[in-house]
């Protein structure tokens, strides 16, 4: 079928490429992976330059899921933006809400958030962290041919989703953590059911370790693949499990000590290169599974506090502490928190005259972590490129914002 000149030009310009066909050397080939491709975990388009099966370069093309989060935030009062934060990393919405609430509370000078509120916030954030890591580990197994762990992890994640739905009324986009407080207290009987689930989950994590991470095939596909040296990770601003897998014990829950994390006992897992090279794809998966264990420890400690010293009382109303009007004084402030993917930060500019922020800038960890993909994929096979993409644990809602 013959294509007219105008149509041909439109097709060429609608999907821009970094490399031009005339620039390719003999034996080189340019292919696209995505934006509709299961291994890209969302609408990510990769322009891949190959020589045979060896990756010469990778150019990420983003913007297919752009939803103008920052402009929405600059048109709405501070409290009304919380539902929009849910849609950044939509697999870890509780953590997004916590980062936003911390930032606005700092601007408002709110330092006396009720301890029961704080423990509930941390409990929700850690349950959500486990659910997010289950998606990362389970779908990563599918990427490289391990199907059973995905089914197991999705089954256990469903229990987490039901607990979060019981608390907030929603399965993914919660609008539960409010500035100064919460939407509502925990339902009656939630603490006991949640503790029962935590005791059930601990041995399940051991099974996942044996069937996936210790699998010979999984090690062959991930060990010594996509190695991210610590110096390169720091140069690119990589954070979260990816940075810790490269050997640095940097976790904002410890570094900044926000909320009640300083009162809780937990470790910071770091990569050790046990299966291959420090900072490879196997290390990144191993760190995420270890973090599930640590989040479980944190959740159990929160539950003990919520049934002990800070147990529910008839006069406790978490909405009582929510400011009726949020109008911070004129200032600039950057607030951040440790999300499952890394450092989520919000940079605020308030003019002191309005309850709507003058400027909001979101620093999404997925966007920053994606930048390192060309470095860790170069020189590997195209089959290893899929392993590298999955090990980043990207959520495109946070990349495009």
Give 354-368 pLDDT, tens digit per residue. Answer: 999 999 999 999 999
What is the predicted pLDDT for the residue at 10? 43
- How far apart are alpha carbons 289 and 156 in whole angstroms? 14
What is the predicted pLDDT for the residue at 36? 80
Strand pairing category for 342-350 and 359-363? antiparallel
- How far apart are alpha carbons 178 and 114 in whole angstroms? 13
Average pLDDT over residues 255-279: 94
User: What are the two backbone dihedrals, phi and then psi, of residue 286, each rounded to the nearest 5 degrees?
Assistant: -60, -45
Helix axes 382-392, 115-143, angle to 10 degrees: 170
Q: What's the pTM value of the predicted model, to 2 decimals?
A: 0.93
Residue range(s) occupied by CATH 1.10.645.10 in the chain: 69-400
- How far apart are alpha carbons 294 and 274 in whole angstroms? 20
Average pLDDT over residues 372-401: 92
Peptide bond into 76 cis (omega under 30): no
What is the predicted pLDDT for the residue at 34? 77
Give CA 193 to chain center in angstroms. 26
Percent of the chain residues topping a pLDDT of 70: 96
Tokens describing residue 21: 């066909």
Describe the strand order of the beta sheet including 28-33 as a list of residue ranges: 28-33, 45-51, 54-61
What is the predicted pLDDT for the residue at 63? 87
What is the predicted pLDDT for the residue at 5? 52
Give CA 6 to chain center in angstroms. 42
What is the predicted pLDDT for the residue at 14? 58
What's the Cα-to-Cα distance from 233 to each of 226, 252, 385, rounded to whole Å? Answer: 12, 16, 18
Confidence of residue 6 (pLDDT cuts 50, 70, 90): low
What is the predicted pLDDT for the residue at 11? 46
| Range from 40-54, 85-99, 111-125 carrying the lowest mean pLDDT | 40-54
Confidence of residue 21 (pLDDT cuts 50, 70, 90): confident
pLDDT in tens, 273-329: 998 899 999 999 999 999 999 999 999 999 999 999 999 988 888 888 899 889 999
- Checking if the pLDDT of 39 tops 90, the result is no
- How far apart are alpha carbons 103 and 82 in whole angstroms? 12
- Checking if the pLDDT of 8 tops 70, the result is no
Average pLDDT of the chain is 91
> 69-400 has which CATH code?
1.10.645.10
pLDDT in tens, 218-248: 999 999 999 999 999 999 999 999 999 999 9
Which residues lie below 8 Å from residue 178, measured CB to CB, with a gap of 6+? Answer: 79, 82, 101, 318, 319, 322
- Checking if the pLDDT of 134 tops 60, the result is yes
What is the predicted pLDDT for the residue at 80? 94
Count of residues in the chain: 401
pLDDT in tens, 161-207: 999 999 999 999 999 999 999 999 999 999 999 999 999 999 999 99
Percent of the chain residues topping a pLDDT of 90: 79
Q: Is 54 left (phi over 0), alpha (psi -120 to 50) or beta?
A: beta
- How far apart are alpha carbons 274 and 290 in whole angstroms? 14
């Amino acid at each position: 079928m013959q294509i007219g000149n105008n149509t041909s030009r439109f097709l060429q310009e609608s999907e821009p490429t970094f490399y031009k066909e005339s620039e390719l050397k003999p034996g080189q080939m340019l292919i696209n992976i995505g934006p509709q491709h299961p291994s890209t975990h969302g609408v990510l388009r990769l322009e891949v330059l190959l020589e045979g099966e060896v990756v010469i370069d990778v150019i990420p093309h983003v913007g297919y899921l752009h939803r103008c989060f920052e402009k929405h935030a600059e048109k709405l009062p501070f409290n009304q933006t919380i539902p929009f934060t849910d849609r950044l990393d939509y697999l870890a919405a509780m953590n997004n809400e916590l980062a936003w609430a911390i930032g606005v509370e700092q601007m408002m000078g709110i330092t006396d958030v009720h301890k029961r509120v704080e423990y509930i916030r941390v409990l929700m954030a850690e349950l959500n962290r486990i659910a997010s890591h289950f998606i990362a580990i389970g779908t990563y197994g599918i990427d490289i041919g391990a199907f059973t762990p995905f089914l197991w992890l999705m089954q256990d994640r469903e229990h987490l989703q039901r607990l979060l739905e019981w608390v907030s009324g929603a399965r993914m986009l919660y609008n539960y953590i409010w500035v100064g407080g919460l939407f509502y207290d925990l339902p009656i009987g939630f603490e006991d059911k949640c503790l029962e689930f935590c005791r059930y989950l601990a041995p399940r994590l051991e099974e996942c370790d044996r069937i996936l991470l210790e699998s010979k095939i999984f090690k062959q596909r991930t060990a010594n693949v996509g190695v991210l040296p610590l110096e390169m990770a720091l140069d690119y601003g990589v954070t979260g499990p990816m940075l810790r897998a490269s050997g640095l014990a940097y976790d904002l829950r410890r570094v900044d000590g926000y909320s009640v994390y300083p009162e809780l006992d937990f470790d910071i897992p770091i990569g050790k290169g046990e299966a291959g090279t420090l900072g490879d794809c196997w290390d990144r998966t191993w760190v995420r599974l270890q973090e599930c264990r640590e989040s479980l420890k944190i959740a159990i400690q929160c539950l003990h506090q919520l049934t002990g010293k800070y147990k529910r009382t008839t006069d406790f109303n978490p909405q009582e502490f929510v400011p009726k009007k949020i109008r911070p004084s004129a200032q600039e402030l950057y607030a951040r928190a440790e999300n499952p993917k890394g450092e989520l930060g919000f940079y605020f500019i308030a003019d002191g005259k309005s309850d709507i922020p003058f400027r909001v800038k979101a620093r999404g960890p997925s966007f920053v972590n994606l930048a390192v993909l060309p470095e860790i994929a170069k020189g590997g096979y195209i089959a290893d490129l899929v392993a590298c993409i999955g090990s980043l644990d990207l959520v495109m809602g946070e990349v495009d914002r």
